[in-house]
Structure 1
């Protein structure tokens, strides 16, 4: 066997593998002997089928299987032993691959394209300054959450004609554009020309300027359309809303039944306790969002300012092959900058992991999963009797999807540790903002 690496430049290389008969013949002969012992062919006793007959019947498929296995192992071993950092996996070089004559050919040549990931200098934003947000809960936000919870747990009806506190369900469509979505439109959040939406029935079509009726409120428009706040300004001009249904919810009362539904049985027993618990929960959720914003800014800054030369043409080929035709060339081109940024961040993250010897233990993965499960089921703690059951449930969850759930949890913890390392290298300036102001910031 002969393997030759020809590096064209810093990010692209070709790998040639030449297999000779001596490389694969012993394995093929061994496999044929196995077949003679197991094959059941009419006219021959078990284990007495001639090797020549097996070779004639199955020799070609055995040869192809053994060569493919040997080729894959040899290429992977070569890359590992020579410490070649590649993007994805080797791709067959279609321009050099000749048709194989499995009946007569003895020596085989295979050519692969490699995308090489170059080394790079990492300067993790040393001395940089980033804004962090401390969220102050304002009364308007608390009142909005009260209203939302009362609606969420209230009784819903579908009246014939709309009133000011109803939700309209239907299709929102841009008249001079391509945007279209099915959504719920809250009439009481409309700031101008609200009368257009009151007194309507199913089947009505309302025409209006989206920016005008919401008074250019990016947060409200984002909530209705599902578009990111930073992109809502692009939704210009007149829209049509085709009313399909009117939703009216009678607000749920603030009583023990509501308290139990939201926070669990007897977790709070008075409205004062409920409001304190609500503030605590909201503060925690908003701070998690604020921390996420800070981390996203840090990642964006690193990706933007770290110079990494990528094998772009190979990357495009690999994206097409690895996604098995699910991505068209047009889609790859359209989203290529995003794919590049994701790859660069992956390389930066791996370098930080190596340089800082960051590790994630199995115990950390299990404990993080357990904490999420407790939060999902609204259980601050569990009894000893339920502990074994919960541990079994967590173990089963982490093994699902061929272990993908475990890997996802592992990767999430690893990413948090990397970002914690990076946060120590920047100066964070804390800014206090209300929850309403935070919601309206563009990220």
Structure 2
């Protein structure tokens, strides 16, 4: 067997040439023919006594093709690894007219997309802003309102008041269909709130949706079910067909409520309860701020890392690798997204290789256990027997889907380690924002 590579470093492509002689495959083919003869069953012949000539006639070409493909796959892969040829995706076979019935020597070619070496930006070269949310009274009031809605007693009065919710169907004025089911908070209406007070079930309200909520797309989206783009473009009149009024009385702030919200005896006074609410909300915003920072980090690293991509090969490979799901037109339309995803994958792999990052089985199992405990509120006290049972459950989960769950958890942990490693190499400064600004900036 002879393998050569013709490189075009300017285009980042290569043409791999593979030549097979009869000696490369003949022994393996003969062995397969003998094994097949032992198992073959033909009318008029006892098992294992079928003439070799008949077996060769019936199965020879198929066995030859299978063995040649096996040799190609194995040796092409070995060549690329031994010669440290870094490629994008997989080699693409060049169409050829190989005559397996009459020829003894075969030539094959494969297109390659070549990936050059690259360097990450120097430490402290990339600067990022991390949004830091300072809680205000309005945000805390919203949280207490949510607690009231969840744990308070709800009634359906005949006539609406300022703190009620209108349950019904919302649609663009004059549009066909019954509309989207919504629960509209009257106290969030900024303009013309009086029109929503004194309403009864069966009434239909027509109003300018954007004007009613002061142009706040986030507020509109939170109750309407509209997408971010739809909420931002929700101009003009809308109709709300009211089906009922919801009114929720605030629950008494006692130990029963404290236990319902935070678990048994987590807090024992109004002061502790308020502090715990603030702490919980702040913690949620802090986690979301970290998520925003991580997304910004990924984008910044992609933008700051010069990586040449064999564009035409990449497009061709995407279509081939996603046959039936992607066509050339779709790839062209979304190519920038595919390229950025590829670049991040290359950056991630380089960080893993440079730093020797690894993920242990215990880390994967503990991650699953944390998820299980999170479903119980995170405050559950485990006995040794309970933990042992959960470990077994976690292990069974990781084995499901033919190991797919294990791979997903492995990749998630590895991705977190890569981002954490990169965060130590960039400059991060805080960017104070209000809770409302933060929500509006990071919707959807």
Work out which of the residue numbers 116, 119, 140 in structure 1 matches 2:117. 119
Residue 288 of structure 1 is matched in structure 2 by 287
Closer/same/farther in 2, CA of residues 99 and 261 from structure 1, 3 Å limit: farther
Cα distance in structure 1, aligned partners of 2:357 and 2:21: 44
1:236 deviation in Å?
A: 5.6
Is residue 386 from structure 1 mapped to residue 386 from structure 2 by the alignment?
Answer: yes
The answer to whether 1:366 aligns with 2:365 is yes
1:161-172 equivalences under 5 Å are 165-168=164-167, 170=169, 172=171
Counterpart Cα distance in 2 of 1:61 and 1:432: 69
3-state SS of paired residue (1:122): coil
Q: In the superposition, relative to structure 1, how do residues 112 and 210 fare at CA in structure 2: closer, same or farther (>3 Å)?
A: farther
What SS class does the counterpart of residue 13 from structure 1 fall into?
Answer: strand
For 2:157 and 2:236, locate their aligned partners in 1 and report how far apart those are by CA, in whole Å: 27
Question: Tell me, what secondary structure is at the counterpart of 1:74?
Answer: helix
User: How many angstroms does 1:357 deviate by?
Assistant: 2.4
Matches within 5 A, 1:4-15: 4-10=4-10, 11-15=12-16
Q: Provide Cα deviations, 1:26-66, integer angstroms capped at 9, x if missing partner.
A: 22211121112222333322222222222222223222222
Please identify, of 324-333 and 252-261, the stretch whose mean Cα deviation from structure 2 is larger. 252-261
Shift of the alpha carbon at 1:347?
1.3
Quickly say closer, same or farther: Cα 1:33–1:222, change in 2 above 3 A. Answer: same
2:233 aligned with 1:235: yes
* Counterpart residue number, 2:21: 20
For residues 343-366 of structure 1, the C-alpha deviation after alignment (integer angstroms, 9 at most, x for no partner) is: 111111222222222222222222
Alignment of 1:182-331 (within 5 A): 182=180, 184=182, 186-188=184-186, 189-194=188-193, 199=199, 209-223=208-222, 224-225=224-225, 227-228=227-228, 235=233, 237-238=235-236, 240=238, 248=246, 250=248, 253=251, 262-264=261-263, 267-268=266-267, 272-331=271-330
**TM-score w.r.t. length of structure 1:** 0.84
Asked if 2 retains the 8 angstrom alpha-carbon contact of 1:131 and 1:428, the reply is yes
**Structure 1 unaligned residues grouped into runs of 5+:** none
Which residue is equivalent to 1:55? 56
Counterpart position of 1:343? 342
Alpha-carbon distance in 1 for matches of 2:82, 2:227: 48
Equivalent position of 2:70 in the other structure: 69
TM superposition shift of 1:174:
10
Q: CA deviation at 1:171?
A: 6.3
2:101 is matched with 103
Q: How many residues align structurally?
A: 433
Residues 304 and 396 of structure 1: is their aligned pair in 2 closer, same or farther, counting only changes over 3 Å? Answer: same
- Indicate how the Cα distance of structure 1 residues 81 and 258 shifts in structure 2: closer, same or farther if over 3 A, else same: farther
Query: Is this contact kept in 1: 2:29–2:67, CA < 8 A?
Result: yes
**Matching residue of 2:424:** 424
Pair 1:401-2:394 in alignment: no
Q: CA deviation at 1:183?
A: 6.0
Q: With structure 2 as the length reference, what TM-score do the two structures score?
A: 0.84
1:251 Cα shift?
5.5
Deviation for aligned residue 1:207:
6.1
Alignment RMSD (CA, Å): 3.4
Contact residue 24 and residue 67 of structure 1 kept, 8 A: yes
